[in-house]
Homo-oligomer: A and B are copies of this chain.
């Protein structure tokens, strides 16, 4: 079913999307199709196409040549559609059932045709409303272990690894991360967006030399360490979930980077929930944090032993060294994510959506506090339990 036709780029309409879908040989020949554009329109069109009198459906996602951010249009490479389709396919080889199936992709039109997941909900939305996702952390831990291990030098022939590094070179989208996660929030930069009540905390960050030194090291790691094919933007808004399913979507930021970045982004976004929730509701969140790391590290270890090709894989201490580095990096990257989601350009609804001013500001201060602690103490924190203890101190 994989097709790649050569067309000049033009943005689809709902009618054109139906015509496009009919050419895919996905739906029965004479099906009448219904189409709705369901994206938020900022970066991509998302067309949901289904049979009027049947069960079959699919999604056509089309990248737009610009991004609408703070009311302005920024040009943004269409190549990200190719990166996204190829990352879904590559990650799907290993994280079976945890990413949408790609039916087709079209480089010229910047289109990815994929499995319809509209029966699921974005995990961030669900978590904000206390929905239960009993499989979430187990699935994400598994997804992380499978995708990161299998695309690393520990599993791939060096020729194939280096081929993938070039295939997934993604300078434009990486630069967004380099700026918005690792740089702007730590300087008095135009893109920052923080509530006036946080001014004191924000200035303290800008003037915190030791913190900035550690962020500089993390940024260097992001810029230089091609450890594995990352998702690159693994927050809870990039995950579809239900009680029984988890699907990771939207890997348009995929590139070869440090493994801890994916783990850290996911954990940071879960941690926000541990900050905002009351005692009883927090238990499940702390359990997600613990399970994510435990499932990731134990599956990674199993893969290391069963599928590792590195000559030094049985050298005493090497596996531990690798996993410890991922853990330390994870904490640092999680810290950066907590800070930028509070005072940088792109916020999270988990915090911004809290109507009560006093609570919202308190939680934001706590997000900054945890972020700073994770960055500064990441070499001393030796277990996921210590991370949980750090989070629980907020509530004492």
What residues of B have a CB within 8 angstroms of the CB of A169 in the complex?
162-163, 165-166
If the complex has contacts A169-B162, A225-B225, are A321 and B183 also in contact, measured as CB distance less than 8 A?
A: no
Closest partner residue, chain B, to A318 (CB atom): B216
By the criterion CB–CB under 8 Å, are B153 and A224 in contact? yes
What residues of B have a CB within 8 angstroms of the CB of A394 in the complex?
none
By the criterion CB–CB under 8 Å, are B183 and A159 in contact? no
What distance in Å separates the Cβ of A204 from its nearest Cβ neighbour in chain B? Answer: 15
What residues of B have a CB within 8 angstroms of the CB of A215 in the complex?
312
By the criterion CB–CB under 8 Å, are A321 and B166 in contact? no
What residues of B have a CB within 8 angstroms of the CB of A153 in the complex?
220, 223-224
The segment out of A170-178, A336-344, A351-359 that lies at the interface is A170-178
* Bound Cα distance A94, B224 (Å): 21
In this complex, the member of A174, A225, A227, A311 whose beta carbon has the largest number of chain B beta carbons within 10 angstroms is A311
By the criterion CB–CB under 8 Å, are A209 and B315 in contact? yes
* Bound Cα distance A223, B172 (Å): 24
* Bound Cα distance A174, B226 (Å): 15
In this complex, the member of A161, A165, A174 whose beta carbon has the largest number of chain B beta carbons within 10 angstroms is A165
* Bound Cα distance A280, B352 (Å): 73
A interface majority secondary structure? helix
By the criterion CB–CB under 8 Å, are B223 and A224 in contact? no
A39 at the interface (CB under 8 A from B): no
20 more CB-based (< 8 A) A-B contacts, given A159-B171, A187-B311: A153-B224, A158-B171, A158-B178, A159-B172, A161-B223, A162-B171, A165-B166, A165-B169, A209-B315, A212-B312, A213-B318, A215-B312, A216-B312, A216-B315, A216-B321, A217-B318, A219-B312, A220-B322, A224-B226, A225-B226
* Bound Cα distance A312, B321 (Å): 28
A316 at the interface (CB under 8 A from B): yes
Q: Which residues of chain A from 258 to 283 have any CB-CB distance to chain B below 8 Å in the complex?
A: none
What residues of B have a CB within 8 angstroms of the CB of A172 in the complex?
159
A317 at the interface (CB under 8 A from B): yes
In this complex, the member of A169, A223, A310 whose beta carbon has the largest number of chain B beta carbons within 10 angstroms is A223
Q: Which residues of chain A from 142 to 195 have any CB-CB distance to chain B below 8 Å in the complex?
A: 153, 158-159, 161-163, 165-166, 169, 171-172, 174-175, 178, 183, 187
* Bound Cα distance A100, B74 (Å): 43
By the criterion CB–CB under 8 Å, are B187 and A159 in contact? no
* Bound Cα distance A211, B165 (Å): 29
By the criterion CB–CB under 8 Å, are B213 and A316 in contact? yes
Closest partner residue, chain B, to A153 (CB atom): B223
What distance in Å separates the Cβ of A162 from its nearest Cβ neighbour in chain B? Answer: 4
What residues of B have a CB within 8 angstroms of the CB of A225 in the complex?
224-226
Closest partner residue, chain B, to A213 (CB atom): B317
In this complex, the member of A166, A175, A216 whose beta carbon has the largest number of chain B beta carbons within 10 angstroms is A216
What residues of B have a CB within 8 angstroms of the CB of A310 in the complex?
216
What distance in Å separates the Cβ of A140 from its nearest Cβ neighbour in chain B? Answer: 23
Bits for A192-224, please: 1 = Cβ < 8 Å to B, else 0.
000000000000000001101101110110011
What distance in Å separates the Cβ of A224 from its nearest Cβ neighbour in chain B? Answer: 5
What residues of B have a CB within 8 angstroms of the CB of A312 in the complex?
183, 212-213, 215-216, 219
Q: Which residues of chain A from 301 to 323 have any CB-CB distance to chain B below 8 Å in the complex?
A: 310-312, 315-318, 321-322
- Can you list 29 A-B pairs, Cβ within 8 angstroms, ordered by A? A153-B220, A153-B223, A158-B171, A158-B174, A158-B178, A158-B223, A159-B171, A162-B169, A165-B165, A165-B169, A166-B166, A166-B169, A187-B311, A209-B315, A209-B317, A210-B317, A212-B312, A213-B315, A213-B316, A213-B318, A213-B321, A215-B312, A216-B321, A217-B318, A224-B225, A224-B227, A225-B225, A225-B226, A226-B226
